Amino acid sequence: MAATADEVLDTPPATTEKPSFFQTTMGKRVAIGGGVALILALMVAVWMWSQAPEYRVLFSNYSDRDGGAITASLDQMGVQYKFSEGGNAILVPAEQIPDLRLKLAAQGLPKGGNVGFELMENQKLGVSQFLEQVNYQRSLEGELAQSIQSLGSVLSARVHLALPKPSVFVRDQQKPTASVLLTLQPGRALDPGQVSAIVHLVASSVPELTFSNVTVVDQTGALLSEQANKAANSKMLDATQLKYVDQVQQNIIKQVESIIKPLVGEGNVRAEATAEVDFAQVDTAAEMYKPNSPPEPQAIRSQQTSETQGAGASASGVPGALSNQPPGVNTAPIDGQPPAEVPAPSGPSTKNSTTNFEVDKTIRYEQRPMGGIKRLTVGVIVNYRRIVDPATGKVTVRPLAAAEVAQINELVKQAMGYNQARGDTLNVANAPFDGVDKPAEAVVEPDWWRDPANMPLFKDLARYAFVFAVIAFLYYRFLRPLLRPAIKKFDEATAMPEDPKEEEEGEKDGDEADAADAEEEEEDLEEEEKIRRDMGYRANLKLAKELAAQDPRIVANVIKGWLGSNE
């Protein structure tokens, strides 16, 4: 008997397959639990990502020894750290950088590959004098290297000192020498002034070390100290002198513009100055003599007088006792009579007098320091007066009056320190600037959302908003539907009404909730039934196609049955 079409289509396909694990009750529970765990893990990961600290550089360009010591100290302190992509920097949370740097500095880290005078702290008992001298030399070299490395252009430095033994004999004394090897930062160079500063730093740190005995070499093998010596010995201006001249000129320009701006307004005055500076150091000593003027009293420097008086008669007689006897005794006057006059000896007399007078003399010592200003040249240009009509907004310009220009001229002279005897020149011009007649443009402040100062705040708000949106989406879209049956059963198990009225209200609420759940379940069942129908129709259609392909006679019999029933 041939099968009808309805029987063929309605007949379910025979299958012997067992349901998969996830189709069973246990499998569904496992899938729900795994989904809940996965969603919770995603929510926790997103939250931790939002709370992750920002890492910044703690130290960079360190040696391997310093890197190992720093990471070991960070491990002891329990600080999380990581390395940059190239491994040349240690990154730590940004808020911990100041505290960590102070703590590591207390431990002497990083040492920079050089050991300073801390080498002398661990001297052992019984160390020989030679070893003490070697440790002292190493310490001094390390301290000098650390000082040189503090310069911004220097990446690392090594210092070698040759200190001869002291000798009591002058002919055997030798001067110390020093060599400095510099490794500069990429793309950086040292000018002769900086090299000279390094040379003076090393020479001033070692006793009896002269500047000429210090050699500075960079990592390419270029001799830097020779260039510094040539620049020092040359007659051209060095970088320090040029900087001084520029500083003098800028100070004069600043003084001139600052005193004129209150009169003409901001942006209406321009000034330029040229200074001729004398860098020659002159020492003068002069001693001048001039005769005394006649009206002025003459000053006596020294006076000497000598007088010689000759004797009356020359000595005569035979040498002997009589001639050697002393003269007789003078007798006193009697009865108030005057004494008898003794005749004065007669003979030649001489008198000499020498008088020395002072001569006027002037001794003058003059020392003129280098850096004195020889001549100043200043040029000032002042804009026209700008007048804006408040009603129409029209702009008109007019030149300054002669009295105003003269006043500005006098103020500039006072500000620049004008000296006519020195040959200073000044020129004040009044001319219109380009665009002086254009209407004033209103200053438009940027909107608060375009202000660059608010960009960090916007980034933080955007990050927290993104995290909140992701967590809310995961919760309401996946986690809440999965947990709804469990929450419902938990609420039913823990519901304990205390008051009959509350119980009745709870029952009403429960009935309403049950009705809502029933409606929701009916909708779910209808949807499942519809899906089942579609799946059954598709399965029957597929089965019919397979039967038609395998045995066309069955399809022919079905069609014959349809035709026979229609007749």
* Dist. CA 351–CA 366, nearest whole Å: 48
Residue 353 to residues 297, 308, 357, 481, Cα–Cα distance (Å): 20, 12, 13, 139
pLDDT tier at 508 (50, 70, 90 boundaries)? low
Could you tell me which of 274, 262, 260 has the C-alpha nearest to residue 430?
260
- Give mean pLDDT, residues 43-72: 78
| 108 neighbors 68 (Cβ within 8 angstroms) | no
Residue 245 has pLDDT above 70, yes or no: yes
Q: Which residue has the tokens 């039934």?
A: 529
- Count CB-CB contacts under 10 A for residue 56: 13
Beta bridge partners of 282: 368
pLDDT tier at 234 (50, 70, 90 boundaries)? low
pLDDT tier at 326 (50, 70, 90 boundaries)? low
Residue 188 has pLDDT above 80, yes or no: yes
Could you tell me which of 5, 6, 11 has the C-alpha nearest to residue 556?
5
- Give mean pLDDT, residues 434-458: 70
Per-residue confidence (pLDDT) for residue 314, from 0 to 100: 53
Per-residue confidence (pLDDT) for residue 10, from 0 to 100: 47
What integer best gives the mean pLDDT of the chain? 76
What's the sign of the alpha-carbon dihedral 78, 83, 88, 93? negative
Residue 243 has pLDDT above 60, yes or no: yes
